[in-house]
Amino acid sequence: MRDQDLATLRALNAKFIHNFVTCDVPSHNAIIDPDFVCISPSGSVHGRVEYLEAWATDFDPEVILYWDMRDEDIRIFGDFALVRATTKWVRRLKGQDVTGMTMYTDTYRRVGGRWLCVQAQLTPVTPENFTADTAIVCRYIKGVLQT
């Protein structure tokens, strides 16, 4: 069961990332819990409705030129799981390309045999803690998945 849960959570994490890059609200809606909350890098807490409204437009491939997910770590505790990874991004802001990383921890719970995300927490990563490119799991350039 543990290997199956790991595979399921790994696939959900990939879907979570893909849903963000493609602004796919219906697909994302299906994998988050009705009581879902998101804690932003600034510390503000967003409920499910506000979060999904932002989800529809937050990724702009003309602004977010590069996006990857790396250093994935999944830990299962019975019917709860923590999915942690880091995203690297390059954003074009006022004509300048800015590179940064954000670490996230998504908390999942198993409900009726199905894993649903109940909370996402985003934390900015300082340059001295950037994760190496060797840990990349998936990469998008201007919103297109690279194979």
Mind listing the pLDDT tens digit for each residue in 26-49? 999 999 999 999 999 999 999 999
Give the residue carrying structure tokens 């499910």. Answer: 48
Chain segment 98-121, per-residue pLDDT in tens: 999 999 999 999 999 999 999 999
Tell me how many domains the chain contains.
1
Residue with the two structure tokens 């919103």: 143
Q: Are residues 117 and 16 in contact, defined by beta-carbon separation less than 8 angstroms?
A: yes
Q: At 12, which CATH number?
A: 3.10.450.50
Helices (H), the chain: 2-22, 25-29, 48-55
User: What is the structure's pLDDT at 1?
Assistant: 66
- Regarding pTM above 0.85, the answer is yes
Domain that holds residue 102: 2-145
pLDDT at 65: 97
